[in-house]
Every structure is written in C-alpha cells, then in structure tokens.
Amino acid sequence: MQSLAPIKEYAREHAVPIMKDEGIEFICKYIEEHKIKRILEIGSAIGYSAIKFAGVADDINVTTVEIDKERYEQAVQNIKAQNLENRISIHLCDALIFETEKQFDLIFIDAAKSQYIRFFEKFKHNLAPGGVIVSDNLSFHGMVDDPHLQCNRNTVMLVKKIRKYAAFLRNNTEFETEFVSRGDGISISRKRTF
Ligand SMILES: C[S@@+](CC[C@H](N)C(=O)[O-])C[C@H]1O[C@@H](n2cnc3c(N)ncnc32)[C@H](O)[C@@H]1O
C-alpha cells in the first residue's frame, strides 16, 4: 500500500473529517483479530478509513457510501491510486436510501451524527450472524462529557443527538454495546443471544 500521508494532508487542508489515528488503529486491529472480511461503511468522505480497512488483509471487501459528490470523487481517485477498486465498492448516495441485500461482518457508522439511530435501524438487517455495528464520534471531541467545550448552538444540538444515540444503545434490548474510549469514542454493538 502506498503512503496515506497525502490523503491525510488533503483532509487537513480541505477540512474533511477523517478518523483519528488512535480510533482507526483500534478498528483495524479489531478487524484483524476477529477475521472480519465484509465491511459496510456509512460515510466514506475521501476514502481514508475504507482504504485502511481494506489494507488489513487482501481478502477484505468494503462497501462504502458517501453523499457528497466532491468527496466521493476524491475517494474514487484515492481508491484507484491504491489499486483497490476491486475490493472497495463506493456509492454516491444518501445512505438512508441506499439498498443492499448483502450481509456484512462489520458495519461502520461514521456519517451525519443526527441520523445515527436511523442508520443503525436500517442496516442492522444486513448484519451477518455474529457481526457488529461500530460507530465513531461517541465522545465528539470531548464535548459529550464536558459541556464547557460546546462552543455554539450547532455543537450543542449535535451533542444532544449523540447522547440520545448512546442512550439508544445502552437501552437496546436487541443489541449489547461496549463503549471504548479510543480516538473520538467508539461503540461496538453485537446482537444479543437469548
Ligand atoms: C466523518 S466523515 C467520514 C470519514 C471517513 N469514514 C474516514 O474516516 O475516512 C462523514 C462523512 O459522511 C458523509 N455523510 C453524511 N451524511 C450522509 C448520508 N446520509 N449518507 C452518506 N454519507 C453521508 C459526509 O458527507 C462525510 O463525508
């Protein structure tokens, strides 16, 4: 795999939010240890995390969905530059209307924070037996635990949505969730076995 430094640099210059190093390394390790092979990602941005996931092993396939045309086009270029077109399938689409019959071992939610519950409910049906739904930004730059860091009305609203999502996960009778304080806060939800 070629260096991903230019992708990170592009993200920094164009203010594209991509996963933090600590969070992405945690998920990549999880993928490796649990022998995850089929991944669905909600929120590709410029393809950084999809490329990292596909880089864990040669037999991993990633399906990823991005709503923003400019980011999607940049992601397509980045994926091509890594020769990963045959293992990363990217779709320009609102994930809320994206349909797939496929089953996935890991579904990664990293898109509009306000829609996390809807993404979870929509894609839980695509989870293969034993699969997990992983979500990022549960800490939202520390603002979820420290209200003093919330700087404007927009972030206050987002933090409210994330708290609501965390409560949804905690009280979920169908899935049990582990909350991991790595990167920007990660949750791992697994279907309960009764
Ligand atoms: C945090 S970024 C994703 C970062 C990426 N996973 C990474 O770490 O490289 C979130 C992305 O989700 C996209 N997004 C937001 N709402 C979406 C939706 N409804 N469907 C698909 N993509 C969406 C945004 O345009 C944005 O590029």
pTM of full prediction above 0.85: yes
Q: Which residues pair with 65 in a beta bridge?
A: 42, 91
Per-residue pLDDT of 18-51, as tens digits, reads 999 999 999 999 999 999 999 999 999 999 999 9
Q: Is 21 in the pocket of ligand 1 (CB under 6 A)?
A: no
The predicted structure's pLDDT at residue 174 = 96
| Fold that domain 5-191 belongs to in CATH | Rossmann fold (3.40.50)
- For residue 18, give the ligand 1 atom closest to its CA: 8
Pocket lining: 28 vs ligand 1, CB cutoff 6 Å: no
Confidence of residue 156 (pLDDT cuts 50, 70, 90): confident
Question: Which of 67, 27, 22 is closest to 44 using CA atoms?
Answer: 67
Q: How many angstroms separate the Cα of 20 from the Cα of each of 110, 111, 125, 182? A: 12, 15, 28, 9
Question: Where residue 137 falls among pLDDT bands split at 50, 70, 90?
Answer: confident
Residues in CB range of 130: below 8 A, 6 or more apart? 105, 190
pLDDT class for 9, splitting at 50, 70, 90? very high
138 with 184: CB under 8 angstroms? yes
Average pLDDT score over the chain: 93
For the chain, which residues make up each domain, given as ranges? 5-191
CB distance 48 to ligand 1 below 6 Å: yes
pLDDT tens per residue, range 94-108: 999 999 999 999 999
What atom of ligand 1 comes closest to residue 111's alpha carbon? 12
Find residue 16's DSSP bridge partners: none
Does pLDDT of 168 surpass 90? yes
Residue of 31, 44, 99, 139 to mutate, ligand 1, most atoms within 8 A of C-beta: 44
pLDDT > 90? residue 193: no
Give the Cα separation of 152 and 155 in Å (integer).
6
User: Do residues 68 and 74 touch, judged by C-beta distance below 8 A?
Assistant: no
What tokens were used for 188?
């791992």
Residue 7 in contact with ligand 1 by CB distance below 6 A: no
**155 in Cβ contact with 113 (< 8 Å):** no
CA diameter of the chain: 48
